[in-house]
Every structure is written in structure tokens, then in C-alpha cells.
Amino acid sequence: MTYSTHLFRHLRFTIGQNIHRLRARQELPLGKLAQLTGISRDLLEYYEIGKGDIQLHEMLKLACFFQVEMHDLLG
């Protein structure tokens, strides 16, 4: 495994943990977050478990929704 592959894998995992933490803090079900952000529930679930590559515009939507800076999602 290359360094960049490892780095991206770690970044996906970190972003997913942060999304989950912010959602849990608000006691917000995954389906409700999907409804409020326009990001599908399946994609949000993939992001939270670190399986999906999040698009920049989706990360911006989530940062705006949770009223945090983008770097708060990045770790």
C-alpha cells in the first residue's frame, strides 16, 4: 500500500468519524440528516463508515449544516 493510499483511507475514516460525532451530538438520525442536507442516506452512511470518497460540495453542505468549519470535518 502506498503512502497516499494510506493517507486517503485515514482521511475518509476521520471525516466519517467527525460526521458521526456531529450528528450524534444533535441526536439526529441518519435519515433526517439526509432529508435536511439533500445528501442520500446511503452516501451519508458510507461516509460515516469511511467507505465513500466525499465530494467537496457535500462536505461544504455538511459543514454549513452543522455550523462548523471545513477543517473540523477534516480532523
DSSP string, 1-50: --HHHHHHHHHHHHHHHHHHHHHHHTT--HHHHHHHH---HHHHHHHHTT
What the chain holds in terms of domains, given with CATH numbers, is: 3-69 (1.10.260.40)
Q: How many CB atoms lie within 10 A of CB 63?
A: 19
Is 73:57 a contact under the CB 8 Å cutoff?
no
Q: What is the pTM of this model?
A: 0.91
**Could you give the C-alpha distances from 2 to 6, 7, 8, 53, 60, in angstroms and in order?**
6, 9, 10, 17, 28
pLDDT of amino acid 57: 96
pLDDT of residue 26 exceeding 90: yes
Give tens-digit pLDDT for 49-68.
999 899 999 999 999 999 99
The residue among 26 and 5 whose pLDDT is bigger is: 26
